A and B are shown apart, each in its own frame.
Chain A
Amino acid sequence: MGPKLLKPASLVLALAMLAITASPALAAKKTPTPTPTATRVPATATSAPPTATATAVPPTATATSAPPTATATSSPGATATASPTSGATATPTGTAAATATPAPPTATPVPPTATSVPPTATPAPSGGPLSVDGQYGDWAGRERIVDPTADGNLGGDLHYLYWGTNPNEDNLYFMIERYADSATRSGDSVTYTLRIDTDNDGNFGSDLDRVVTVGYAPKPSKSTVQVRVSRATGTQIASYSGDWGQSDGEGALQVEFRVPFANLGIIAQQTIRMYVTSDEGDRAPDSGDVQWSPVPILGYPLLAAVVAGAIYLVWREKGRLAWKPS
């Protein structure tokens, strides 16, 4: 014990910070962790049995002569199509929606779990992980914006826009809820348009940005939901459909869907902006948008570099003082 302890102390500080910030195990968690104290909303809808089918749409622009097809995996009760397009980023590669790898058409449904990442210690959301199954209890307490009533026409008066992610999964989940309508119009169809500014520049019209169109048609005992993902400039990237909304009997208010990161052209640490409109003249939020980054804005490697630099400066100063003659 003596003056030599000063430098080791600083060295330990540096080692500890670096070990902590650079540890892949510690960095593995990339999505919000819900609290176990949240209340769970009772489910109000039943899900259809898995009946997924897949159809392929020929590509609109391709130089290959092989029969281009698309394999699609989706949620229970879903059908999916994908339209591969030309361009470096136009090829849909979503794990939950479509891949443009030429392959024989397949009708084999794939379970909704879109990625095969092994489970980690990341706690599951309080209402369970988000899933597109016609059950809405998993949205309890999730991030959302509330839109005021009566600022849209009947049938398309937006109430909530929910969004979220699951740990270790490359999908964005959304749920849109409208205000209750009069009894005679409870089953009205509605089309929502979710605009996503993927490059976070405040402009929703570039080729990088996306438009997700959701056609929701409630039926007496089920619903039909058609989701189309397109570039803001118009090129369709993928589409999915399924029974993901409430039926007339369930109130015909809520509809949920998910979009793979790949279809949106984003990665996990990307900040995006978004807003939703209905074809009945409503918008949420009423002005501006919601800016959201599903994961930390600064990655762990850069954080480790910043921490290391700061520690080095402290260490240098500390060492100099320690050896200064008294």
Chain B
Amino acid sequence: METLLGPLVAVGLWLGLLVFFRAHRIWLPYYALGSVGLATAIIYFGRGPLPLETWLKTITGIQVHQLMDLVGVPTRLFEGVPGALMVLVISQEIGWTVLHIDIECSGLLESAVLVGLLAFYPAWSLGKKLTLMAIGLAATYLANLARLVTIIAVLHWGGKDTLFMSHTVVGRAVFFAIVVLVYWFLLTRPTIETIRHRLGRGVVG
């Protein structure tokens, strides 16, 4: 409980500031503070008191394992180490490579940021926000699966020397490309449409 005292105080302070900004209709600080705060809180509590990260790592590992099984790439999971995935590498000399699905590869960061950005966007209704959140979280999760499948495929057929390239360059490029698309379709494009609509109606500011 002592370790939670500081974060809980910070949450209280954050909520107080949000109420203040909202009550005075100071939207930019409200949006900035709300988005960053919520994303940070999700990640902080998701890694500690709430088993969100462990859950994400576990389910991601299981599903990647199942996907690779479909295409005939042997992988191994370890019940005591969620997110650890051992991949059979067949190029060069046959052997194993252990990948760890950590916070970066769990998709938790991107999901939390997406939720933060959508949750405090003042222009949209709650229903629209929730819908976009559901779509965005699903898309981010699938993008992460695509990233991991790509990494494993490159490793499996490319050999152990490709570990850095597959993880740091190829896998990340795939993931970021998809995430940029997700953000475009869920945030940028609807925002532009909203603004155009309001400009057309003369409701600006």
Residues of A that sit less than 8 Å from B by CB: 1-6, 8-9, 11-13, 15-17, 19-21, 23, 25-26, 29, 32-39, 121, 123, 125-127, 140-145, 164, 200, 202, 271, 273, 285, 287-298, 303, 306, 310, 314, 318, 321-322, 326
Contact = CB atoms under 8 A, between A and B. Distances in A.
B191 interface: yes
B84 A32 contact: yes
Contacts of B107: none
A292 B89 CA distance: 13
10 contacts: A1-B198, A6-B191, A26-B43, A29-B102, A34-B80, A121-B47, A143-B84, A290-B95, A291-B97, A303-B104
Which of A2, A16, A125 has its CB near the most chain B CB atoms (within 10 A)? A16
A143 B117 contact: no
A298 B31 contact: no
Contacts of A121: 3, 47-48
A26 B103 contact: yes
A41 to B, nearest CB: 10
A35 B161 contact: no
Contact of A314 (B58, B84, B180): B180
Given A287-B95, A288-B93, A34 B82 contact: yes
A29 B47 contact: yes
- What is the interface of chain B mostly: helix, strand, loop, or mixed? helix
Nearest to B81: A32
5 nearest CB pairs, A to B: A141-B80, A288-B95, A121-B48, A141-B79, A291-B97
Contacts of B93: 202, 287-289
Contacts of B53: 33
Interface string B173-187: 000100010011001
Contacts of B35: 12-13, 16
B113 A17 contact: yes
B146 interface: no
Which of A9, A39, A273, A314 has its CB near the most chain B CB atoms (within 10 A)? A9
Interface string B1-16: 0010000000000000
Given A13-B117, A25-B44, A289-B95, A33 B36 contact: no
Given A33-B83, A36-B51, A38-B79, 12 more contacts: A5-B27, A33-B53, A35-B58, A38-B80, A39-B79, A121-B48, A271-B163, A273-B160, A287-B94, A288-B94, A295-B102, A314-B184
B133 to A, nearest CB: 15
A33 to B, nearest CB: 6
A20 B160 CA distance: 30
Contacts of A127: 80
